[in-house]
Structure 1
Amino acid sequence: MDASFQPASVEDLRELIKWAAAEATPLEVFGSGSKRTLGRQVQAAHALTLSKLAGVDVYEPAELVMTAKAGTPIADIERLVQENGQELSFEPIDYGRLLGLEPGQGTLGGVLTANLSGPRRIKAGAARDHILGMEAVSGRGEIFNSGGRVVKNVTGYDLPRALCGSWGTLAVASTVTIKVNPASQTSETLVLTNLDDARAVKAMCKAMGSSAEVSGAAHLPNGLNGEGARTYLRLEGFVESVRYRRENLARLLDDFGPVAKVQAEETAKIWRSIKDVEPFWSNSGPVWRISVAPTAGPVLVGALSKLFQLEAFYDWSGGLVWLNCSDGRVHDVDIRRVIGTVGGGHGTLIRADAAQRASTQVFQPQPASLAALSQRLKEQFDPKGILNPGRMGSQTQ
């Protein structure tokens, strides 16, 4: 990098991007850099880091709303809301340890652009569903606002949804307003043991289809510590409600074998490990994050296991497959082909070395019609292509 810019205000950010657009000078945009190795290497001479655009502007616990700068560490935000008996219900993933870094380095802006959502997504929704408003600067060098706590909206665009998952290729967020929720009074996890993948998914889908209000459903074929297959179902809420729902759910799942119970403290550890992909921390192979229909998860893993050596576990009731290529190869062609045969889905290469990322389509290729729409969106927000060029490969959004 020839230079690293650290704007301290939205006006500084606007002037920097306006200069880069005028000079057709590409910028690598990031917060703390905790996810710089995810995606292809950015083709840019200069870096734009949001580390100085940090801090909470407004937090009103009674109103369940917070406005903070994009460079604010998400760990600081989680700590603050926890002190007030609240939570970020979408449970943002921390990729730190998976990518060989220290945990707790991600920022609010990074959560937005990567749309990081953990196990509770199946009940609470994705990160983008919790964004009320934002202020951002387009690749044209224009400040614009959308959603709550602003005076000007961008006509025709749902800005938070457009930027979630864009990986900094459309605009640079400066301030984000998010909703927070009261934390549960207690939580418990029901554990089923020694189920094969297909039967575990049946159990999870049955639980999700019940009135138990399950807020987490995951299956680990090797458990968290190599203790054998474990299927986890999380219940949260008021003490009496959790007890009542747990008893009903245990009866409902009687056909799947004995049901054990884990209390709140151990429950928190279990779901933090699942959220942050702990089973693959010590492995060195490429890691894929694959989203398919829940019942297709075991079919996908079964088909791929015949082609190469792998490890896998399931979140989101089987709809999210975390897959580690144990032989060190990426296997992108096989993975994308099998995704198509099981009914479609999305596969993203989360961890790989630089050479593998450079030769692989890291993000799921888009159908022609969607790719054309993405290109038009890119032309509206960043016509000179100065923001994170190359990060998403041939995709523009």
Structure 2
Amino acid sequence: MHDIRLIRENPAAFDAGLAKRGLEPISAELLALDEKKRSISTQMQLCQARRNEASKLIGQAMAQKDMEKAEALKAEVAELKERLPQLEAEDRAIGEELQSLLLAIPNLPADDVPLGTDESENLEQARWGTPRSFDFTPQDHADFGPALGLDFEAAAAISGARFAALRGQMARLHRALAQFMLDRQSGGNGYEEVNPPLLVRDEALVGTGQLPKFTEDLFRTTDGRWLIPTAEVSLTNLVREQIVPETALPLRFTALTPCFRSEAGSAGRDTRGFIRQHQFEKVELVAICRPEDSEAEHQKMLAAAEGILQALNLPYRRVLLCTGDMGFGARKTYDLEVWLPSQNSYREISSVSNCGDFQARRMNARYKPEGEKNTRFLHTLNGSGLAVGRTLVAVLENYQQADGSVIIPEVLAPYMGGITKLEAAKN
């Protein structure tokens, strides 16, 4: 969320930041509401002060037996008592309107984010690995995966479209990938492993920016809770409404969780296969730090995500997103896109974002610098390290063999219980 005080100080800069995202200026509307709210607040303070003063004067007038003055003062106090709730209601209504507007405005892009309107204007920064040359036509995982245990039909009968059941050796490979990622991130990469709640309240999703804007992308329970679309929600909110000691920073969290998304805005996209599901697993990375450390944390998190792809020997590219393609809460985002032979293209497998103090303001998450009286808002970062299902797809396609089998990457050997190859069951 944005600080109305900063908008007051430089409304032109705020509107210029929104313009980079292709949005119309809104500072004038915000400041008009802000001015109205501050005016009402001033009236409330004056009314309260006058009511207190008049109440004291009543006692003095009574002591002096000036009943006419006392009655006049009583009438004034009664009028002020009636006026104050009206002003409080106005103040509350305008405050809610202003808050609603501020919550709907995306983060402003960092200065070094390239300008652009959509993904076609993202900036490729680097490539790692060389796509494999096949001596046969590589197949889509959705075509050869079912013979290896990727069951779309049974899942559709149980739950409908965009669900899959993983069976036997396929389930083992999926689990191996997830455990390998979690071990890497919680081991050498220094992220604290967390097993967080999968159901959260409204304020948690407001804190990380999914609400109120993206309600349609979420699943809600009958008791008013929400299934998390990403562990970012639970992990980032661990510092909600807290003042974190500076000595405890940075905080780095990782979690392997199911994630649930309605994919409301993706009709017709990736309808085949395992790439875009309503339910999937992901190893999430979250960092919480001082503002001056957030750029370094961003690079650390990016390296942690890239390290998984490198260990699996999966070719990928790193892309810096333009202003028109960044997520709502991000001020700067890198996407990692893994090579998929069947599509002859790179597809997103991780987004790693620096949110600055945008989420911290929404969560009221602060820290107190040593030697200072005042607190400051924290910076938060998040990224996938990695999406397990999409990594499974990348392994299947890049390690597929002409006979329909799939070689297991060497780094997964300790997790596979001796299985070195996925093969179709023999009749």
Larger-Rg structure: 2
Answer 1 or 2: which has greater helix percent: 2
Q: TM-score normalised by the shorter chain: which range applies?
A: under 0.3
Per the normalisation by structure 1, the TM-score is: 0.20
